Amino acid sequence: MFNFEDKTILITGASGFVGSSMVFHLMKFKKIKIIALSKNKENLSRIFAKYKNHKNLTLIAQDIAKPFYNLKNNIDYIFHAASPQEAKTIKKTPLDVIFPNILGTINCLNFLKKNKKKTRLVFFSSVTVYGNNTNTNLKLNETNTAVTEAINSENAPYSESKRMSEVIINSYIKQFKVDAVICRLSTVYGPTHYKKNNAFSEFINNVILGRDIYVKSSTLPKRDNIYVDDAISGLFCVALKGKKGETYNISSNGELGNFLSVSEIAKLITKIHNDNFSKFSRKIKLKLKKIKYIKKYGIRLNNSKLKKLGWCLTTGISEGIKKTINFYL
Protein backbone atom coordinates (compact mmCIF):
# COMPACT_ATOMS: atom_id res chain seq x y z
CA MET A 1 0.00 0.00 0.00
CA PHE A 2 1.26 3.48 -0.84
CA ASN A 3 2.32 5.31 2.32
CA PHE A 4 1.09 8.81 3.14
CA GLU A 5 1.69 8.66 6.89
CA ASP A 6 2.71 12.01 8.41
CA LYS A 7 1.69 13.87 5.24
CA THR A 8 -0.70 16.77 4.73
CA ILE A 9 -2.81 16.42 1.60
CA LEU A 10 -5.17 18.85 -0.13
CA ILE A 11 -7.83 17.36 -2.40
CA THR A 12 -9.78 19.76 -4.60
CA GLY A 13 -13.11 18.57 -5.93
CA ALA A 14 -13.36 16.44 -2.80
CA SER A 15 -17.12 15.98 -3.09
CA GLY A 16 -16.81 14.56 -6.60
CA PHE A 17 -16.54 10.91 -7.60
CA VAL A 18 -12.78 10.29 -7.61
CA GLY A 19 -12.01 13.06 -5.11
CA SER A 20 -14.38 11.73 -2.44
CA SER A 21 -13.23 8.15 -3.01
CA MET A 22 -9.65 9.32 -2.53
CA VAL A 23 -10.53 10.93 0.81
CA PHE A 24 -12.04 7.65 2.06
CA HIS A 25 -8.90 5.77 1.02
CA LEU A 26 -6.58 8.25 2.72
CA MET A 27 -8.59 8.27 5.94
CA LYS A 28 -7.34 4.72 6.51
CA PHE A 29 -3.99 6.22 7.54
CA LYS A 30 -3.68 6.99 11.24
CA LYS A 31 -1.16 9.83 11.03
CA ILE A 32 -2.34 12.04 8.19
CA LYS A 33 -3.91 15.46 7.64
CA ILE A 34 -6.45 15.75 4.82
CA ILE A 35 -7.96 19.00 3.58
CA ALA A 36 -11.07 18.29 1.51
CA LEU A 37 -11.99 21.30 -0.61
CA SER A 38 -15.19 21.63 -2.61
CA LYS A 39 -17.51 24.38 -3.78
CA ASN A 40 -20.56 22.78 -2.19
CA LYS A 41 -20.56 22.87 1.62
CA GLU A 42 -23.68 20.70 1.92
CA ASN A 43 -22.20 17.94 -0.23
CA LEU A 44 -18.99 17.97 1.81
CA SER A 45 -20.91 17.65 5.08
CA ARG A 46 -23.18 14.91 3.74
CA ILE A 47 -20.52 12.77 2.07
CA PHE A 48 -18.09 12.89 5.00
CA ALA A 49 -20.67 12.84 7.82
CA LYS A 50 -19.04 9.74 9.34
CA TYR A 51 -15.87 11.79 9.89
CA LYS A 52 -17.56 14.77 11.51
CA ASN A 53 -15.09 16.48 13.87
CA HIS A 54 -12.39 13.93 13.00
CA LYS A 55 -8.97 15.35 13.77
CA ASN A 56 -7.48 14.11 10.48
CA LEU A 57 -10.01 15.74 8.15
CA THR A 58 -10.68 19.42 7.49
CA LEU A 59 -13.53 20.45 5.20
CA ILE A 60 -13.28 23.70 3.26
CA ALA A 61 -16.09 25.03 1.08
CA GLN A 62 -14.55 27.18 -1.64
CA ASP A 63 -14.74 27.72 -5.37
CA ILE A 64 -11.41 26.45 -6.73
CA ALA A 65 -11.59 29.11 -9.44
CA LYS A 66 -11.01 31.74 -6.75
CA PRO A 67 -7.59 32.25 -5.07
CA PHE A 68 -6.92 30.07 -2.04
CA TYR A 69 -7.57 31.44 1.41
CA ASN A 70 -7.03 30.03 4.88
CA LEU A 71 -4.51 27.45 3.67
CA LYS A 72 -1.28 26.92 5.55
CA ASN A 73 2.01 26.26 3.83
CA ASN A 74 2.58 22.77 5.22
CA ILE A 75 0.86 20.85 2.41
CA ASP A 76 2.83 17.97 0.91
CA TYR A 77 0.53 17.02 -1.97
CA ILE A 78 -2.30 18.69 -3.87
CA PHE A 79 -4.57 16.32 -5.79
CA HIS A 80 -6.41 18.68 -8.15
CA ALA A 81 -9.58 16.75 -8.96
CA ALA A 82 -12.01 19.68 -9.19
CA SER A 83 -13.51 19.59 -12.68
CA PRO A 84 -17.20 19.31 -13.61
CA GLN A 85 -17.58 16.85 -16.48
CA GLU A 86 -21.30 16.15 -16.76
CA ALA A 87 -22.51 16.54 -20.34
CA LYS A 88 -25.34 18.81 -19.21
CA THR A 89 -22.93 21.23 -17.51
CA ILE A 90 -20.52 21.25 -20.46
CA LYS A 91 -23.37 22.01 -22.85
CA LYS A 92 -25.35 24.59 -20.88
CA THR A 93 -22.80 26.32 -18.62
CA PRO A 94 -19.39 25.69 -20.21
CA LEU A 95 -17.62 28.39 -18.18
CA ASP A 96 -18.45 26.36 -15.04
CA VAL A 97 -16.14 23.75 -16.57
CA ILE A 98 -13.45 26.02 -18.00
CA PHE A 99 -12.88 28.15 -14.88
CA PRO A 100 -12.22 25.26 -12.41
CA ASN A 101 -9.92 23.62 -14.94
CA ILE A 102 -7.83 26.64 -15.92
CA LEU A 103 -8.18 29.15 -13.07
CA GLY A 104 -8.27 26.37 -10.48
CA THR A 105 -5.04 24.94 -11.87
CA ILE A 106 -3.40 28.37 -11.85
CA ASN A 107 -4.43 28.84 -8.20
CA CYS A 108 -2.85 25.52 -7.29
CA LEU A 109 0.34 26.41 -9.17
CA ASN A 110 0.57 29.84 -7.56
CA PHE A 111 0.31 28.15 -4.16
CA LEU A 112 3.24 25.92 -5.13
CA LYS A 113 5.18 28.91 -6.42
CA LYS A 114 4.80 30.88 -3.17
CA ASN A 115 5.07 27.94 -0.80
CA LYS A 116 8.44 27.54 0.93
CA LYS A 117 7.74 23.87 1.58
CA LYS A 118 8.13 21.62 -1.44
CA THR A 119 4.60 20.70 -2.48
CA ARG A 120 3.74 18.36 -5.35
CA LEU A 121 0.72 18.98 -7.57
CA VAL A 122 -1.00 15.92 -9.04
CA PHE A 123 -3.24 17.16 -11.84
CA PHE A 124 -6.25 15.13 -12.97
CA SER A 125 -6.33 15.35 -16.75
CA SER A 126 -8.47 13.25 -19.07
CA VAL A 127 -8.61 10.74 -21.89
CA THR A 128 -10.44 13.46 -23.85
CA VAL A 129 -7.18 15.34 -24.53
CA TYR A 130 -6.38 12.66 -27.13
CA GLY A 131 -9.50 13.17 -29.24
CA ASN A 132 -10.69 10.29 -31.41
CA ASN A 133 -11.37 11.12 -35.02
CA THR A 134 -10.51 7.75 -36.52
CA ASN A 135 -12.52 4.82 -37.79
CA THR A 136 -10.52 2.21 -35.96
CA ASN A 137 -9.63 1.26 -32.40
CA LEU A 138 -6.55 3.09 -31.14
CA LYS A 139 -3.95 2.36 -28.50
CA LEU A 140 -2.27 5.58 -27.40
CA ASN A 141 0.67 6.50 -25.20
CA GLU A 142 1.33 9.80 -23.47
CA THR A 143 2.92 11.45 -26.53
CA ASN A 144 -0.01 10.90 -28.91
CA THR A 145 -1.72 14.28 -28.42
CA ALA A 146 -1.67 15.68 -31.97
CA VAL A 147 -5.37 14.96 -32.58
CA THR A 148 -7.97 16.93 -30.66
CA GLU A 149 -11.60 18.08 -30.63
CA ALA A 150 -12.93 20.54 -33.18
CA ILE A 151 -12.94 23.91 -31.46
CA ASN A 152 -16.73 24.23 -31.84
CA SER A 153 -17.52 20.70 -30.66
CA GLU A 154 -19.86 20.24 -27.71
CA ASN A 155 -17.14 18.70 -25.51
CA ALA A 156 -14.44 21.25 -26.34
CA PRO A 157 -14.91 23.34 -23.13
CA TYR A 158 -13.88 20.26 -21.14
CA SER A 159 -11.25 18.63 -23.34
CA GLU A 160 -9.56 21.84 -24.47
CA SER A 161 -9.44 23.36 -20.98
CA LYS A 162 -7.77 20.15 -19.81
CA ARG A 163 -5.22 20.48 -22.60
CA MET A 164 -4.59 24.14 -21.77
CA SER A 165 -4.21 23.29 -18.09
CA GLU A 166 -1.47 20.83 -19.04
CA VAL A 167 0.28 23.54 -21.08
CA ILE A 168 0.07 25.92 -18.11
CA ILE A 169 1.46 23.30 -15.72
CA ASN A 170 4.42 22.56 -17.98
CA SER A 171 5.05 26.31 -18.32
CA TYR A 172 5.10 26.78 -14.52
CA ILE A 173 7.52 23.86 -14.20
CA LYS A 174 9.82 25.41 -16.80
CA GLN A 175 9.60 29.00 -15.57
CA PHE A 176 9.15 28.66 -11.81
CA LYS A 177 10.57 25.16 -11.12
CA VAL A 178 7.45 23.95 -9.30
CA ASP A 179 6.88 20.22 -8.77
CA ALA A 180 3.94 18.76 -10.67
CA VAL A 181 2.87 15.60 -12.46
CA ILE A 182 -0.03 15.04 -14.84
CA CYS A 183 -2.38 12.05 -14.76
CA ARG A 184 -4.66 11.37 -17.73
CA LEU A 185 -7.52 9.27 -16.46
CA SER A 186 -9.53 7.00 -18.70
CA THR A 187 -13.22 6.32 -17.93
CA VAL A 188 -13.49 5.65 -14.18
CA TYR A 189 -16.39 3.56 -12.87
CA GLY A 190 -17.45 2.10 -9.54
CA PRO A 191 -19.40 2.93 -6.38
CA THR A 192 -19.55 6.45 -5.03
CA HIS A 193 -21.15 8.59 -2.33
CA TYR A 194 -21.45 11.30 -4.96
CA LYS A 195 -24.49 11.11 -7.23
CA LYS A 196 -23.13 10.86 -10.76
CA ASN A 197 -25.19 11.71 -13.80
CA ASN A 198 -23.85 9.20 -16.31
CA ALA A 199 -24.88 5.99 -18.04
CA PHE A 200 -23.05 3.59 -15.71
CA SER A 201 -24.63 5.09 -12.59
CA GLU A 202 -28.04 5.05 -14.25
CA PHE A 203 -27.68 1.36 -15.12
CA ILE A 204 -26.59 0.44 -11.58
CA ASN A 205 -29.43 2.45 -10.09
CA ASN A 206 -31.90 0.63 -12.33
CA VAL A 207 -30.76 -2.83 -11.26
CA ILE A 208 -30.86 -1.86 -7.58
CA LEU A 209 -34.46 -0.72 -8.06
CA GLY A 210 -35.36 -3.73 -10.22
CA ARG A 211 -35.95 -1.67 -13.36
CA ASP A 212 -35.12 -2.67 -16.91
CA ILE A 213 -32.10 -1.03 -18.56
CA TYR A 214 -32.77 1.04 -21.66
CA VAL A 215 -29.95 1.97 -24.06
CA LYS A 216 -30.59 4.26 -27.01
CA SER A 217 -27.84 2.86 -29.23
CA SER A 218 -25.93 -0.39 -29.60
CA THR A 219 -23.18 1.24 -31.70
CA LEU A 220 -21.58 3.53 -29.13
CA PRO A 221 -17.75 3.72 -29.02
CA LYS A 222 -15.70 1.41 -26.85
CA ARG A 223 -14.05 2.97 -23.78
CA ASP A 224 -11.00 2.24 -21.70
CA ASN A 225 -12.75 1.66 -18.36
CA ILE A 226 -10.93 1.50 -15.01
CA TYR A 227 -12.34 0.63 -11.60
CA VAL A 228 -12.15 3.51 -9.12
CA ASP A 229 -9.83 1.71 -6.67
CA ASP A 230 -7.34 0.98 -9.46
CA ALA A 231 -7.53 4.60 -10.62
CA ILE A 232 -6.81 5.87 -7.12
CA SER A 233 -3.88 3.50 -6.62
CA GLY A 234 -2.51 4.77 -9.94
CA LEU A 235 -2.84 8.38 -8.78
CA PHE A 236 -1.12 7.55 -5.50
CA CYS A 237 1.67 5.75 -7.36
CA VAL A 238 2.34 8.76 -9.59
CA ALA A 239 2.20 11.14 -6.61
CA LEU A 240 4.89 9.18 -4.77
CA LYS A 241 7.02 7.80 -7.60
CA GLY A 242 6.28 9.84 -10.71
CA LYS A 243 8.97 12.01 -12.24
CA LYS A 244 8.52 15.78 -12.04
CA GLY A 245 7.00 17.18 -15.23
CA GLU A 246 5.98 13.79 -16.60
CA THR A 247 2.54 12.68 -17.78
CA TYR A 248 1.06 9.26 -16.99
CA ASN A 249 -2.00 7.47 -18.33
CA ILE A 250 -4.16 6.14 -15.48
CA SER A 251 -5.93 3.42 -17.40
CA SER A 252 -6.71 -0.25 -17.77
CA ASN A 253 -5.37 -0.38 -21.33
CA GLY A 254 -8.48 -2.51 -21.88
CA GLU A 255 -7.00 -5.33 -19.81
CA LEU A 256 -9.16 -7.72 -17.74
CA GLY A 257 -12.12 -7.11 -20.05
CA ASN A 258 -12.25 -3.36 -19.39
CA PHE A 259 -12.45 -2.25 -23.05
CA LEU A 260 -16.23 -2.07 -23.55
CA SER A 261 -18.83 0.32 -24.92
CA VAL A 262 -21.72 1.69 -22.87
CA SER A 263 -24.13 -0.78 -24.50
CA GLU A 264 -21.78 -3.70 -23.80
CA ILE A 265 -21.48 -2.60 -20.16
CA ALA A 266 -25.27 -2.42 -19.93
CA LYS A 267 -25.52 -5.98 -21.25
CA LEU A 268 -22.92 -7.20 -18.73
CA ILE A 269 -24.59 -5.40 -15.80
CA THR A 270 -27.91 -7.01 -16.74
CA LYS A 271 -26.35 -10.49 -16.84
CA ILE A 272 -24.42 -10.06 -13.58
CA HIS A 273 -27.52 -8.78 -11.79
CA ASN A 274 -29.75 -11.57 -13.06
CA ASP A 275 -27.17 -14.25 -12.24
CA ASN A 276 -26.18 -12.97 -8.79
CA PHE A 277 -28.52 -10.33 -7.36
CA SER A 278 -32.05 -10.85 -8.75
CA LYS A 279 -33.22 -12.16 -5.35
CA PHE A 280 -32.99 -8.57 -4.08
CA SER A 281 -35.44 -7.24 -6.67
CA ARG A 282 -36.36 -9.12 -9.84
CA LYS A 283 -34.76 -10.27 -13.06
CA ILE A 284 -34.43 -7.35 -15.43
CA LYS A 285 -34.25 -6.95 -19.19
CA LEU A 286 -31.92 -4.97 -21.43
CA LYS A 287 -33.72 -2.93 -24.07
CA LEU A 288 -31.58 -1.67 -26.93
CA LYS A 289 -32.85 0.84 -29.45
CA LYS A 290 -30.85 1.02 -32.63
CA ILE A 291 -30.55 4.54 -33.97
CA LYS A 292 -28.39 6.23 -36.59
CA TYR A 293 -24.85 4.83 -36.59
CA ILE A 294 -22.46 6.83 -34.40
CA LYS A 295 -19.18 4.89 -34.17
CA LYS A 296 -18.18 1.69 -32.47
CA TYR A 297 -14.47 2.39 -32.21
CA GLY A 298 -12.62 3.72 -29.20
CA ILE A 299 -9.22 4.29 -27.67
CA ARG A 300 -7.18 2.41 -25.14
CA LEU A 301 -4.56 4.26 -23.15
CA ASN A 302 -1.22 2.52 -22.91
CA ASN A 303 -0.42 2.13 -19.19
CA SER A 304 3.10 0.70 -19.51
CA LYS A 305 4.66 3.94 -18.24
CA LEU A 306 2.55 3.71 -15.07
CA LYS A 307 3.38 0.03 -14.65
CA LYS A 308 7.09 0.87 -14.70
CA LEU A 309 6.50 2.76 -11.44
CA GLY A 310 5.31 -0.49 -9.83
CA TRP A 311 1.55 -0.15 -10.37
CA CYS A 312 -0.66 -2.97 -11.59
CA LEU A 313 -4.30 -3.34 -12.57
CA THR A 314 -6.27 -5.59 -10.20
CA THR A 315 -9.96 -5.34 -11.08
CA GLY A 316 -11.69 -6.78 -14.13
CA ILE A 317 -14.93 -5.29 -15.40
CA SER A 318 -17.13 -8.12 -14.10
CA GLU A 319 -15.60 -7.95 -10.64
CA GLY A 320 -15.89 -4.16 -10.64
CA ILE A 321 -19.59 -4.33 -11.50
CA LYS A 322 -20.21 -6.91 -8.75
CA LYS A 323 -18.39 -4.72 -6.21
CA THR A 324 -20.44 -1.72 -7.26
CA ILE A 325 -23.79 -3.50 -6.93
CA ASN A 326 -22.74 -4.96 -3.57
CA PHE A 327 -21.80 -1.49 -2.32
CA TYR A 328 -25.29 -0.13 -2.92
CA LEU A 329 -27.09 -3.25 -1.68
Q: What pLDDT, on a 0 to 100 scale, did the predictor assign at position 290?
A: 63
Q: Is 291 in contact with 233 (CB distance < 8 Å)?
A: no
Residue 84's pLDDT band (cuts 50, 70, 90): confident
Residue 295's pLDDT band (cuts 50, 70, 90): low
At position 49, the amino acid (one-letter code) is A
- Structural domains in the chain plus CATH codes: 7-189+226-253+300-314 (3.40.50.720)
- Supply the mean pLDDT for the chain: 90
Residue 293's pLDDT band (cuts 50, 70, 90): very low
pLDDT (mean) for 12-39:
95
Kind of pairing, strands 32-38 and 7-12?
parallel
Kind of pairing, strands 179-185 and 120-126?
parallel
Q: What pLDDT, on a 0 to 100 scale, did the predictor assign at position 133?
A: 66
What is the Cα–Cα distance from 210 to 188, expressed in whole angstroms? 24
Helix (H) / strand (E) containing 8: strand 7-12
Q: What is the pTM of this model?
A: 0.93
Which neighbouring-strand residues pair with 21?
Answer: none
Give the number of C-alpha atoms closer than 13 A to the C-alpha of residue 127, restricted to the C-beta side.
24
What is the Cα–Cα distance from 220 to 208, expressed in whole angstroms? 24
Q: What pLDDT, on a 0 to 100 scale, did the predictor assign at position 147?
A: 82
Residue 250's pLDDT band (cuts 50, 70, 90): very high
